[in-house]
Amino acid sequence: MRINRSLHLRPTSIILVLVLGILGLVPLTPLAHASPFVNEVHLTDCAGPTCVTGALSITAGNMLVVDCFALTNFACSVSDSLGNSFTLRIDANSGGSIRQRIWTSAFSNAGSDVFTFTGGSSTDRYEIQVVQYTGITGVGTNGVDTSFNNPSSFSSTVTITTSAPSVVYEGWDVGNGGTSSCASLSPVTGATIFSFNCDTSTSNALNSLSAQSFFTGGAGTFPFTVSWTGGTNGNNFQIHAAIELDLAPATAPATATQCYGNCGNPPITLANTNSTHTVNFNQSITLFYQFQSNLNGFLLNVTVSMAKSYAALPNGPAFGVYTIQSCPLGQAPFSSQCPGLLQAQSAGQNTFSPPKGKISFSGLRIPVSNGQWVGIALSASLAGLDVNDTNTNVNLFQTNEGKIPSSIQAPSSLGNSKVGLWAWINGNVISGIPPTSPSSGNCGPGLDFILACAVNSLCTVVTSQCQTGSSILLIVILTIFSIAILLGIFSYWLPGMNISTKGMGEFAVLIFIGWFVAFAAYGLLLPYMIILMFFVIAWLFLGRSRGTGPI
């Protein structure tokens, strides 16, 4: 293919462009990991008889684990600046050369706390840590291994049998007698909290580390194994301790399935009247109810009851579901400052011939959260859609932004209505973190959702004007991208094809018009832009017929 000069794209270049384009559309989602761990403070290489930690922010009701490693066999003690009490859980020594004591404390006093450790003399050394956990309901079993026989390497296993979901704190220290080199500690079973420095300030070296493991499945038996390689003289001692801290068992929140929209009282109570009969859906009208969910859960379906059969004249109901991620303070929902974005849309109503009775847009799992604004919408291809009313009055809204438009931001209230249109939401009757929800509308799988999501993502506040500007920008980008792809295809498979610059211009205009029609069909452009494009196309073809146009 030749365009004034030869242009040849390698297939690898085409693939690279496609891959980069696809990667640009994939959102990066950070991973999160929640645990009972809150914070910690520690001291390394501290000389006795007194060592004082830095301040630790304490929350009332949280659990503390206090771990004191001592190079000699003295019993260190602990106190704090808030006057809380500590319960000694483990007191172990290894060969009379090193000692470890572990306390727990369920704090009744909160604030900025400083911990003081005393014992021994100026020649004694401390390694100290205080760890704070939340959600701990009690202290379970513990285990200690102090076995040694002066090896140059060693492996130690402590087995803990848990009775509930728990966190297991693990503390481990190794002393190397008569040498200034520390043992090399391998990774432990759990996640390391802190690995202390090697203390070589005396004739004996000491190093320690702490770790934690989380078990959410309840009762079980779990081994914790550590190993190390010691100093040159092999005169080594070790203490390996683990303690279980019980977590509150997970309780299933109360669940409910509730009806929203106009369900009747009690749900579902229908009447023989049909208020939609006189609605002129020919004029691109969409009716909808708006409401706030009081559940954290999922919207499952949208339903109406057809008052008669439409087997002879296809005019089925079209459904749409809209959500608002959040509204600025003082702004009305479904306004230009707080638009409702389309999350799901039923298939085209032009070929749908529903029978008499209930018709549902089902199979949905649209995430909604407590307090979130939701809209359920109804439209049709032609006037004369007969939908049963209910026995209750609910404020009904109308928008002329299209049949199930990509966003609703300029509705008008029709006042109280009995039109039967309802949705069922299943979820938890609690406040909390909502399920993951798209912030700019559903992004697939249909082209309508993909284009609407891309357009809305370019707007800080989604308005018709911003949607139109964003659409024009994307149309230009997609046109250039489409031409580049086609040029690459022609260059590879039809290298001898000759396309003039003017011919390429005609091709570009056709692609631009194609993308423009697609965006306009999905209601992403203001109506006047469609009229303007009509005149532009007419001018182009008129110029072509006279031989004066650009194509």
Same domain for 154 and 94?
A: yes
Q: Worst-scoring range by mean pLDDT, 79-88, 485-494, 536-545? A: 536-545
User: In this structure, is residue 451 part of a structural domain?
Assistant: no
Same domain for 95 and 231?
A: yes
- Name 534's Cβ contacts closer than 8 Å, sequence gap at least 6: none
Strand partners, 127: 69
Q: Is 370 exposed, middle or buried (0-12, 13-18, 19+ CB in 10 A)?
A: middle
Do 243 and 190 touch, CB atoms closer than 8 A? no
Same domain for 243 and 149?
A: yes
User: In this structure, is residue 127 part of a structural domain?
Assistant: yes
Q: How crowded is residue 280: how many other Cβ atoms within 10 Å of its Cβ? A: 11
Query: Which pLDDT belongs to residue 354?
Result: 85
Of 442, 473, 502, the one marking the end of a domain is 442
Position of tokens 């959260």? 369
- Name 476's Cβ contacts closer than 8 Å, sequence gap at least 6: 512
Query: Which pLDDT belongs to residue 378?
Result: 94
User: Which 3 state secondary structure label does DSSP give 452?
Assistant: helix
Of 247, 268, 286, the one marking the end of a domain is 247
Q: How crowded is residue 4: how many other Cβ atoms within 10 Å of its Cβ? A: 9
pLDDT tens string 278-291: 999 888 899 999 99
User: In this structure, is residue 313 part of a structural domain?
Assistant: yes
Pairing of strands 407-408, 340-345: antiparallel
How many H helices and E strands in the chain?
5, 32
Cα separation, 45 vs 298, whole angstroms: 55
Same domain for 110 and 239?
A: yes
User: In this structure, is residue 132 part of a structural domain?
Assistant: yes
Q: Residue 455 to residues 225, 375, 484, 524: CA-CA distances in angstroms?
A: 55, 20, 22, 8
Cα separation, 260 vs 288, whole angstroms: 12
User: In this structure, is residue 447 part of a structural domain?
Assistant: no
Secondary structure string (H, E, C) spanning 221-233 = EEEEEEEEECCCC
Same domain for 187 and 106?
A: yes
Read off the tokens for 334: 């479904």
Name the residue among 160, 158, 167, 170 with its Cα closest to residue 220.
160
Rounded (10°) angle between helices 501-521 and 447-457: 90
Same domain for 70 and 192?
A: yes
Same domain for 436 and 531?
A: no
514-520: Cβ within 8 A, 24+ apart:
515/475, 515/478, 515/479, 515/482, 516/475, 518/447, 518/451, 519/451, 519/455, 519/471, 519/474, 519/475
Do 53 and 129 touch, CB atoms closer than 8 A? no
pTM: 0.43
Read off the tokens for 15: 């693939």
Average the pLDDT over 120-127 and give the result. 76
Same domain for 281 and 220?
A: no
Same domain for 273 and 399?
A: yes
Q: Residue 109 to residues 62, 82, 134, 155, 444: CA-CA distances in angstroms?
A: 10, 6, 14, 40, 52
Read off the tokens for 101: 């004591």
Q: Residue 47 to residues 50, 65, 71, 123, 238: CA-CA distances in angstroms?
A: 7, 22, 10, 7, 20
User: In this structure, is residue 363 part of a structural domain?
Assistant: yes
Number of independent structural domains in the chain: 3
Cα separation, 366 vs 297, whole angstroms: 8
Query: Which pLDDT belongs to residue 236?
Result: 72
Same domain for 182 and 129?
A: yes
Same domain for 207 and 66?
A: yes
Cα separation, 446 vs 376, whole angstroms: 19
User: Which 3 state secondary structure label does DSSP give 107?
Assistant: coil
Query: Which pLDDT belongs to residue 369?
Result: 87
Cα separation, 116 vs 107, whole angstroms: 16
**Which of 414 and 534 is assigned the larger pLDDT?**
414
Name the residue among 399, 411, 384 with its Cα closest to residue 286.
399
User: In this structure, is residue 86 part of a structural domain?
Assistant: yes
Query: Which pLDDT belongs to residue 441?
Result: 44
Q: How crowded is residue 417: how many other Cβ atoms within 10 Å of its Cβ? A: 22
Q: Residue 89 to residues 137, 139, 187, 344, 422: CA-CA distances in angstroms?
A: 16, 9, 25, 57, 59
User: In this structure, is residue 31 part of a structural domain?
Assistant: no
Query: Which pLDDT belongs to residue 387?
Result: 94
Q: Considering the chain, what percentage of its residues have pLDDT values greater than 70?
A: 74
Confidence of residue 96 (pLDDT cuts 50, 70, 90): confident
Q: How crowded is residue 105: how many other Cβ atoms within 10 Å of its Cβ? A: 19
Same domain for 51 and 158?
A: yes
- Name 302's Cβ contacts closer than 8 Å, sequence gap at least 6: 261, 319, 321, 360, 361, 364, 376, 421, 422, 423
Determine the structural domain holding residue 311 and report its residue range: 255-442
Average the pLDDT over 97-121 and give the result. 85
Of 247, 264, 297, the one marking the end of a domain is 247
pLDDT tens string 309-354: 888 877 889 999 999 987 776 788 999 888 999 999 987 655 578 8
Average the pLDDT over 243-258 and give the result. 78
Do 49 and 118 touch, CB atoms closer than 8 A? yes
pLDDT tens string 262-283: 999 999 999 999 999 999 988 8
Name the residue among 95, 44, 68, 53 with its Cα closest to residue 207.
44
pLDDT tens string 416-445: 999 999 999 998 875 444 443 333 444 555
Q: Residue 163: is its pLDDT beyond 50? A: yes
Cα separation, 156 vs 94, whole angstroms: 13
